[in-house]
Chains A and B, each alone.
Chain A
């Protein structure tokens, strides 16, 4: 990626990236791309987020599920760490708490594969600046 030389440059790039993100979510792989974000701040890692992250990346690949596993910062739910956010294509993201590898397995098999909700969902309870 070249340097950004002006505000217009930046805006173009943002449009591209927006598209990319949206593509990622929708048209690239219409039914199959799942996005998983693992909360990996210090507290998340201390409570095992790293293992969960590794497990999810490996297992989703092994089980042939087209998914994008990324790490992200603190989601705010320290009491329920490790937390992961799963977005199935075309659906609202859902946050799961207290995820260990066993729970991760259940989430893959039941939620990601079959769309069944499983125990441990944390209701999101904040507004973002986009809502205002």
Chain B
């Protein structure tokens, strides 16, 4: 028998280490220490109900255990084999207790479709992919289905593009199919430019064959024999794994001529991007592949009509492709049942920021933000208070407490003032300043704007300057109005998606955290205590003993005062490094 005690941050904070020690002592007392092992595990992710103890092999899941419960657990459960009902998890919806961890809603919340093989197979061995149904969807498509059947299946599945736009994939394939041409192209967009997003990289590193297989299926359905993966050169491992996989597929006759005796030819090449965010936009991506500058052009014409080398081209995201073989194998109806009506299937998110379980997760569409952040994500680090969650990267917005029960899907996120984007999810706590967050994303946009159109090139720079003015404590109320108006102008007039969505972080923080902006401009105060220029280090006259330690440690000589007399900080010289506060033994320095 094993007693698994959670050693995650959350449970540790509520005395799981004491519980562990008590369990061990009690077991020794009963001479059971050799039969029953106490094991500390990583976070169960269910910190809300911690501390957690799981009993194996019967999988009993005890929640909110306190050190006082230890005796009873040992006496009743371990010795007499009776579960302690009062410590079992209660399903909040059904109001019934659940003993077996496998039956808990929480553990059912992740569902891996796009990531099905990541972490399961060796990505450098095609045989392991084949052993897990690999290339069977391609075989089925080539031998049993007409191109239009494939397109219908993808349409029925309801899958929408995972690269950010959310355009229905089947429809896109149909456009490419309908445009007649001697040559067509299938392009996989592996540019992944959102800061913090790494799902596409993980799929290519963990399961490259799924993308190769899906591109071939797409090629067959639209009538193309050439696939191109546009991948950023900063992903050397993904590139290598992809190359290995392509070579193996060729060796096995799964890429090349007359695939599986069907007469269908298809092969894949790689193109490398230099890592400019705008090159992820499909028209810019195509220009970059052609050897021109990576600048977007106005749509239409859409790539499906005139794309790479002016030929019909279908561009899809890596994660979109990774779903396709499953749709064919398991059926479009199976897929369509997962998620919401208008957003089917799952979505991969890169959880980051002030959250306990930073990582890559895949959940059915329609899962709420609360479930993702507090259950799967394990809640906020160090038991701080949740403040906001940013989705959609530099094109998205910040959502607040009141949005926590929003089901995550394309339409709901948009309605709430953010967007799905490619799946970045950054969680912020009470110590994050929302003006600075907006500034952070704007900084990224200014850096990444290609400069082709003025609203984005000049407008974003102005927005950034205004935000800097505000975080410096020099902003005014009028600046907030200008900020909002100018954001709307950029949104309406920029040429491509980058510029059109770049003001979103500003607008969403203005809408949801207006008070915080006001505190900056009217009181010259940063409520989160992050804006350095708004902080004042002050010496408390009561506590200061004049030991001179602070004056000696200050790197810019901003502190003066005689020995044994109260010292003073010159706010004009102070660079707010905090060195004095760290040094002071008498708690005499504080921030206002």
Tell me the minimal C-beta distance from B245 to chain A in angstroms.
Answer: 12
Across the interface, do B142 and A7 meet the contact criterion of CB distance under 8 Å? yes
Interface residues of B, Cβ cutoff 8 Å to A = 2, 4, 7, 37, 39-45, 54, 101, 106-113, 115-125, 127-128, 130-131, 133, 135-136, 139-140, 142-144, 198, 201-203, 205-207, 235, 237-238, 251-254, 260-261, 326, 330, 334, 356-362, 376
Across the interface, do B359 and A127 meet the contact criterion of CB distance under 8 Å? no
Q: Which of A26-34, A56-64, A114-122 binds B? A: A114-122
The 7 tightest CB contacts between A and B, nearest first, are A73-B206, A3-B253, A126-B110, A75-B119, A7-B139, A74-B202, A17-B131
Across the interface, do B260 and A127 meet the contact criterion of CB distance under 8 Å? no
CA distance A10 to B129 in the complex (A): 12
B334 / chain A contacts, CB cutoff of 8 Å: 132
Across the interface, do A4 and B202 meet the contact criterion of CB distance under 8 Å? no
Across the interface, do B112 and A121 meet the contact criterion of CB distance under 8 Å? no
If A14-B130, A39-B119 touch, does A76 touch B42 (CB 8 Å cutoff)?
no
Across the interface, do B131 and A10 meet the contact criterion of CB distance under 8 Å? no
CA distance A47 to B57 in the complex (A): 32
Across the interface, do B118 and A74 meet the contact criterion of CB distance under 8 Å? yes
Across the interface, do A127 and B44 meet the contact criterion of CB distance under 8 Å? no
CA distance A129 to B43 in the complex (A): 24
If A41-B202, A72-B206, A122-B42 touch, does A10 touch B358 (CB 8 Å cutoff)?
no
Across the interface, do A37 and B119 meet the contact criterion of CB distance under 8 Å? yes
* 8 Å CB contact of B116 from A77, A116, A119, A128: A128
- In the assembled complex, A108 has its CB within 8 A of some CB on chain B: no
Tell me the minimal C-beta distance from A103 to chain B in angstroms.
Answer: 12
B117 / chain A contacts, CB cutoff of 8 Å: 73
* 8 Å CB contact of A123 from B2, B42, B121, B128: B42
* 8 Å CB contact of B37 from A6, A98, A116: A116
- In the assembled complex, A5 has its CB within 8 A of some CB on chain B: yes
B113 / chain A contacts, CB cutoff of 8 Å: 129
Tell me the minimal C-beta distance from B179 to chain A in angstroms.
Answer: 29
Contact with B along A31-63 (1 / 0, CB 8 A): 000000101111101000000000000000000
- In the assembled complex, A70 has its CB within 8 A of some CB on chain B: yes
Tell me the minimal C-beta distance from B146 to chain A in angstroms.
Answer: 16
Interface residues of A, Cβ cutoff 8 Å to B = 1, 3-7, 9-11, 13-14, 17-18, 20-21, 37, 39-43, 45, 70-80, 85, 97-98, 116-123, 125-129, 132
CA distance A126 to B203 in the complex (A): 17
- A71-B123, A127-B110, A128-B116 known; 14 new pairs, CB 8 Å cut-off, are A6-B143, A10-B135, A14-B133, A39-B119, A41-B205, A72-B206, A73-B118, A76-B360, A77-B42, A78-B358, A79-B358, A122-B43, A125-B109, A125-B376
CA distance A73 to B45 in the complex (A): 21
A72 / chain B contacts, CB cutoff of 8 Å: 118-123, 206
CA distance A127 to B54 in the complex (A): 19
Tell me the minimal C-beta distance from A75 to chain B in angstroms.
Answer: 3
CA distance A49 to B330 in the complex (A): 34
B356 / chain A contacts, CB cutoff of 8 Å: 79
B357 / chain A contacts, CB cutoff of 8 Å: 77, 79
If A117-B37, A125-B110 touch, does A1 touch B118 (CB 8 Å cutoff)?
no
B361 / chain A contacts, CB cutoff of 8 Å: 76, 126
* 8 Å CB contact of B237 from A7, A42, A70, A119: A42
If A21-B131, A129-B112 touch, does A73 touch B252 (CB 8 Å cutoff)?
no
CA distance A43 to B118 in the complex (A): 14
If A70-B122, A71-B124, A79-B359 touch, does A4 touch B237 (CB 8 Å cutoff)?
no
Across the interface, do B111 and A132 meet the contact criterion of CB distance under 8 Å? yes
A75 / chain B contacts, CB cutoff of 8 Å: 118-119
If A11-B136, A43-B198 touch, does A118 touch B39 (CB 8 Å cutoff)?
yes
CA distance A11 to B140 in the complex (A): 11
Interface of chain A, main secondary structure:
mixed
Across the interface, do A4 and B254 meet the contact criterion of CB distance under 8 Å? yes
CA distance A123 to B357 in the complex (A): 12
Across the interface, do B2 and A41 meet the contact criterion of CB distance under 8 Å? no
Across the interface, do A10 and B130 meet the contact criterion of CB distance under 8 Å? yes
CA distance A77 to B25 in the complex (A): 32
Across the interface, do B119 and A73 meet the contact criterion of CB distance under 8 Å? yes
Across the interface, do B45 and A123 meet the contact criterion of CB distance under 8 Å? yes
Across the interface, do B143 and A17 meet the contact criterion of CB distance under 8 Å? no
**29 examples of A-B residue contacts, CB within 8 angstroms:** A1-B251, A3-B251, A3-B252, A6-B143, A7-B136, A7-B144, A10-B130, A13-B130, A37-B119, A37-B122, A70-B122, A72-B119, A72-B206, A73-B119, A73-B205, A76-B115, A76-B360, A77-B42, A78-B358, A85-B119, A119-B40, A120-B40, A123-B4, A123-B101, A125-B107, A125-B110, A126-B111, A127-B112, A129-B330
Across the interface, do A78 and B359 meet the contact criterion of CB distance under 8 Å? yes
A11 / chain B contacts, CB cutoff of 8 Å: 136, 139
B136 / chain A contacts, CB cutoff of 8 Å: 7, 10-11, 14
CA distance A13 to B133 in the complex (A): 11
B143 / chain A contacts, CB cutoff of 8 Å: 6-7
Across the interface, do A126 and B133 meet the contact criterion of CB distance under 8 Å? no
CA distance A23 to B358 in the complex (A): 36
Minimum CB distance partner of A77 in chain B: B359
Across the interface, do B116 and A74 meet the contact criterion of CB distance under 8 Å? no
CA distance A21 to B235 in the complex (A): 30
If A4-B252, A76-B359, A123-B45 touch, does A10 touch B118 (CB 8 Å cutoff)?
no
B40 / chain A contacts, CB cutoff of 8 Å: 119-120
CA distance A7 to B44 in the complex (A): 42
If A10-B139, A74-B119 touch, does A41 touch B206 (CB 8 Å cutoff)?
yes
